[in-house]
Every structure is written in structure tokens, then in C-alpha cells.
Amino acid sequence: MNDIDTKRAIVASLKSFAEKPLVAAATALMLKPNTFETFAATFAKDTPLNRKQALSDDWQSVNFLFQLTDEEVRPKDTATQNLFG
């Protein structure tokens, strides 16, 4: 999946929050497949993860979910455009 496809999938998943139960919508945002390889390809493009140090053979799955608050998204300088335009 290229960057454009990834962004489109994220937008579709975010829109589903209005229609789906919270757990189902949040789960749809998870990496698929939720493997070490997918995690490394997504988050360690510039700095490869060391499989041995990460104990990747012990990983059963990777589920990465976080929340941004309004304060983190909106700039303190109102002249600067925020993440959502």
C-alpha cells in the first residue's frame, strides 16, 4: 500500500466513527496485517528495528492506537494553519 492509499484508508476509517461502535471503528484503524514486518515498514522506514533486540519472534501481534488532543493538533500561533485546515 502506498502513502496515498494509506491516507485514503485512514480517512475512510475516521469517517466510520460516525457510523460504527467506538471499538469497531478504532479497531479498523489498526495496522493490517498486525505483524512485526508491517509495524517496522510503517514506523521504522528511516531507522530499521533490530529484530533481535525487539524480540520480534515473541510478538503475537502489533496493535498501535493513540489519541491526539486538540492542543496537540492546533498550533499556538493562530496565523499558522492547523493539521485539519
pLDDT in tens, 11-43: 888 898 899 998 888 888 787 888 999 888 888
pLDDT at 77: 63
Cell readout for 61 is 501481534
In sign, the C-alpha dihedral spanning 73, 75, 78, 81 is negative
* pLDDT(85) > 70: no
Predicted pLDDT of residue 52? 93
Mean pLDDT of 62-72: 76
pTM over 0.85: no
- Which residue in this structure is represented by grid cell 466510520? 16
